[in-house]
Each structure stands twice: as structure tokens, then as C-alpha cells.
Amino acid sequence: MFQSAQGIPGLPDLTHPAELMKFGGQVLSTFLIIVFLVGALGIAIALLNFSLRRDQPEQALFMGEWVVRYSRLLRSLPHAALVLILMVGGFFLSSTLGNRYHHWEQARVAQVAASVAGDRLEQPAPQVRYVLKEPYTYTTQVEGKIVKVNDTREVSRLLTLSESQVQVKIDQSTDAQDRRAIYRVDYSADYKVTNPLTDISNFFFEVPPPAGYSLLQSYKVERDGTRLQQANPGDYGFPFRLEPGQVASFKVSYKAQGGPRWVYSATGQLLSNFRLTALANFPGADFASGIIPTESKVEGQGTRFTWVFDDNVSVQNPFGVFTSTGPIRNTGILPRLLLLAPAVFLWWILLLYMSLPMSLRNVAIAGGIFFACLLTLTYLSRLIDVKVAWTLISIVLLALAWGLGSNRRASLAAVICTIAGAVVPVLGLVVPYTGLTLSVAALLGAVWLAVRHWYGWYDLRADARV
């Protein structure tokens, strides 16, 4: 049984009412603490300024500087509060989306795994058994004396098949109830048995049907064209007589239905003059257990696998055919990106603040656009490749970022900040070379700020929007 898909443990999810109420309580308590601290600082500065401004002019001047700094703090406080609100809200939104996407990825993996899950059809190689009597000695007690007794007992031994020619045709269908793959197998095999013994002529040809079937029909065993009958229901051991040095031919055939894997098990025997041909009449078939076939050839929509062992060989694992679903790659990329999204947003906003005059309205709109792009990326990546999706979204993001500037130079600065602070970092989190891409983004942002502030090559003061 496959476990049900779960979200990422320990991450908040705003779709859960208990976590939503807890988040609201934490936000309210944090807001009250900040208001109390800012108000207490203002009251303290006001009292000190009032008490010192008459008697000590120098200290009053010092307190006046603190009053100016406090007023600047109050003016910048709305910006800091807005950025903090956007980051905290964005974190909970991103963690919720990360949980949803992780849940969807797990469900997709479980669905693919369930489609090829189930019992396998395992056909054991036939065994040729004979019984012989061998002497053995044991001791017993008779009238208080230890007596040594010589006796005989029956012991089962096995003959090795002298030749095996197996042909299997496998068709695949889908269960309408749970959408699982089902194999329909048409099995036909010819075996030869040679009697190398000089004093044994009675044998049992034991050939059970495949294990794990849900339907078995037309099962029959023939010797030299004559069908052998079962002595008892469920007993698949067929007695036959074979003189020393003689050869007997057997044919086994049946049609079975079962799970999406068919394998042939040597049951610990040596295989010699062995040939197995399995025609998987459906796409996506591959050989099982790592036993590489001698030949594999595409036929129509399926593949024909052939194993040939002319000399004796020992095969420990059952080998055959199964339905390959292909590896499920690139899982966990979007959840990782969504968890780091608030940090990317902070880097982008800092670049904008250090490059352009930003109003509260512009910051709010920029934050909404950024997280809306991530929301779009989360669901668009289910339909197309995530890199292609982000490329398309980046074009929209850059076009909108152009509006942050009041003229061409300011708009170009906003686009450069967006590329270094948002487009490239997000792209770096969805491509294999994450470290290199993030390093390029950081270098681009640092070079831009140095050019903007240290060298004065890109002055926007005269034209920037206030």
C-alpha cells in the first residue's frame, strides 16, 4: 500500500483554520509590541528634550538631533512596516503554495507508482523429480541395549532440463476501477528431458502455473503431443516413465492475467540450451531484474526480448519484462523556490530602494506583482516546463517594472534591478546550476549599485519619480 500524499512537515499552511488563527494572533501581538516600543521611545525623547532644553543648551542640542532622527524613523517606519508585512504575508503564502505543490508532486508520484503496482506473474522453471532408495543407519534401544539398525529410505532428487524453449506474448490493458496496468500473458514452452541414469525410469514432471495470477485458463501439459491429466486438483506433478538414455519432450501452455510484471524463475537450477523470447506488445516495456537480454528488438508498438543461454548458466533472480514508467525528475524544485521567495523579494526591494525613490504605493504594487508572478508560476508549471513558464512570466514582470521609472533612464534602472533581484535569482532556483546563477545575480546587483552610487555614471536625481 502506498502512503497518502502529505505536505512538508513543520511548514505553516494557511488553508488550515487552526494555523490561520495562530498566525493572526502572532501578527496582532507583534504589531502591538512594535507600537508600544515606538511610542515609548517617542515619549522618552520628548520628556528628556523638555527637561534639558532650558538649563543645558548643549544637551538640548543633542536631544534635538535625537528628535530629528526619531522623526526620520517615523517617516521610514511605514516603509519598513509595509516591507515586513509583505515579507511575512509572502512567506505564509509561499509556504502554503509549497505545501500544495509538494502534495501535488507526491500524489503524482503515488499515482504513477500505483499504475504499475501489484502482484507479479512469476513462472517457475519445471522440475523433473525422481525417487530413489538409499541406505542409512540409525540407533535405537531394544530391551535396554543400544542397537544399530541398517535401513533404507526414499529420497527425492532432481534432473536438469536438457533443453528449454519458452515463448511469451504479453499484452497490457488498464483496470477501469483503479487505473492499474494488467498483463495478459500467452505462454508456450517446449522442454526436453534426457534420462542419464541407468537404474531409474520413473519420474515426475512438476510444472506449476505462474504465481500471482488473477485469472488462469487453457492450462495444459503435453508429452509428445499427448495431453497429460492431473491426478488431483491443484497437483501439477505429472508422472511419466523414461528409459535410461531416452529423451522426452513436453509442451506447457496457458493464458493468464495478472500484475504488470512477468518474470521467469530458474528456482536454483542450472539452465542449459535455454531460450526465452518475450514479446511485450505495448510501449514502455523494459527487461526486469537487471538480466540483460541477448537481443532486444522493436516490433510495431512493442519490443521483443530474447535471452539465450547455450551453455549452462545459473540465474539467481527472476528475469523477464515489466512496464517502465520512466524516472520522475525535477521534484522538489518549486517547493524550494517558494520557501526562499521572501528572501528573493527582500533582495529585489532593497535593490529598488537603493536605486530609485520608492513610494508606499509603488512598494505595495511591486510586492503584489512579485507574489502574483510566483502564484502564476506555481500552477503554470504543472502544464509546461518550469523554466519556460518563468521565462514567459519574466517578460511580463520586466514590462511592469518599466513603469517604476518616470523616464527612460529611471525605467531602465528599474529593469536592471528586476533582472538582478528577481528574474535571475528565481531562475537560479529552478535550473541545475543554482549556485553559479545566484552568484551571477549577486555580482550583477553589486556592480549596478557600485556604478549607481560610487561612480555616479547613472544619475537619476533630476528625472526620478517621487
The string of DSSP codes covering 449-466 is HIIIIIS-SS--TTT---
Give yes or no for a contact between 337 and 426, defined as CB atoms under 8 angstroms apart: yes
In the DSSP assignment, the letter for residue 381 is: T
Lowest-confidence segment of 7-21, 173-187, 294-308 by average pLDDT: 7-21
CA 352/CA 347 separation, integer angstroms: 9
Place of cell 543400544: 146
The pLDDT > 90 percentage for the chain reads: 25
Segment 37-62 shows an average pLDDT of: 58
Q: pLDDT digits over 341-395, tens only?
A: 888 999 999 999 888 888 889 889 999 999 999 999 988 888 888 889 999 999 9
CB 393 within 8 A of CB 376: yes
pLDDT given at position 454: 81
Domain limits at 278? 121-323
What is the per-residue pLDDT for 109? 65
pLDDT-based confidence at 141, cuts 50/70/90?
confident
Q: The domain that contains 283 carries what CATH number?
A: 2.60.40
Statement to judge: residues 222 and 141 lie in one domain: yes
Residues 6 or more apart from 181 whose CB is under 8 A from it?
115, 116, 118, 172, 173, 174, 175, 259, 260, 323
Q: Could you give the CA distance from residue 134 to residue 203 in angstroms, rounded to a whole number?
A: 17
Polymer length in residues for the chain: 466
**pLDDT one-digit tens code per residue, 63-122:** 556 555 655 655 667 777 788 888 878 887 888 788 777 777 776 666 656 555 557 889
Q: Which of 264, 292, 323 is the last residue of a domain?
A: 323
Are residues 59 and 195 both part of a single domain?
Answer: no
Q: Are residues 278 and 419 in the same domain?
A: no
Q: Dmax over Cα atoms in the chain, in whole Å?
A: 131
Flag whether pLDDT at 407 surpasses 90.
Answer: no
Higher per-residue pLDDT: 74 or 218: 218
- pLDDT for res 4: 43
- Rounded Cα–Cα distance for residues 224 and 215 (Å): 27
DSSP H/E element including 240: strand 237-241
Same domain, 142 and 272: yes
Question: Of 288, 304, 323, which one is at a domain's C-terminal end?
Answer: 323
Angle at CA 217, nearest 5°, toward 214 and 219? Answer: 120
Q: Whose grid coordinates read 502529505? A: 6
Are 95 and 225 within one domain? Answer: no
Helix (H) or strand (E) run with residue 50 in it: helix 17-52
CA 465 to chain centre: 48
User: Has residue 456 got a pLDDT over 80?
Assistant: no
Vertex 12: Cα angle to 96 and 381 (nearest 5)? 20
Residue that is last in its domain, among 116, 131, 164: 116
- Per the CB < 8 A criterion, the answer to whether 265 and 122 are in contact is yes
Residues 196, 308, single domain; the answer is: yes
Confidence of residue 178 (pLDDT cuts 50, 70, 90): low
3-state secondary structure of 456: coil
> Are residues 308 and 180 part of one domain?
yes
Buried-exposed string 450-461: b where 16+ CB fall within 10 A, e elsewhere: eebeeeeeeebe
One domain for residues 111 and 98: yes
Looking at residue 58, its pLDDT comes to 52
125 and 204 belong to one structural domain: yes
Instruction: Output the nine-digit C-alpha cell for 393.
Output: 512570466
Give the separation between CA 294 and CA 279, rounded to whole angstroms.
14
pLDDT at residue 461 tops 60: no
| 149, 203: one domain | yes
Structural contact between residues 429 and 340, judged by C-beta atoms closer than 8 angstroms: yes
Lowest mean pLDDT segment, chosen from 5-9, 401-405, 426-430: 5-9
DSSP 3-state of 57? helix
Q: What confidence category does residue 276 fall into, taking pLDDT thresholds of 50, 70 and 90?
A: very high
**In which band, very low, low, confident or very high, does the pLDDT at 463 lie, cut at 50, 70 and 90?**
very low
DSSP string, 75-122: HHHHHHHHHHHHHHHHHHHHHHHHHHHHHHHHHHHHHHHHHT-S--EE
Identify whether residues 132 and 218 lie together within a single domain.
Answer: yes
Mean pLDDT in the chain?
Answer: 80
Asked whether residue 127 falls in the same domain as residue 109, the answer is no
For the chain, the domain total comes to 3
The DSSP symbol for 430 reads: T
- Write down the residue that cell numbers 522442454 correspond to: 191
The answer to whether the CB of 145 falls within 8 A of the CB of 178 is no
Calculate mean pLDDT across residues 413-432. 90
Cell of 288: 526486469
What would the grid cell of residue 318 be? 527472476
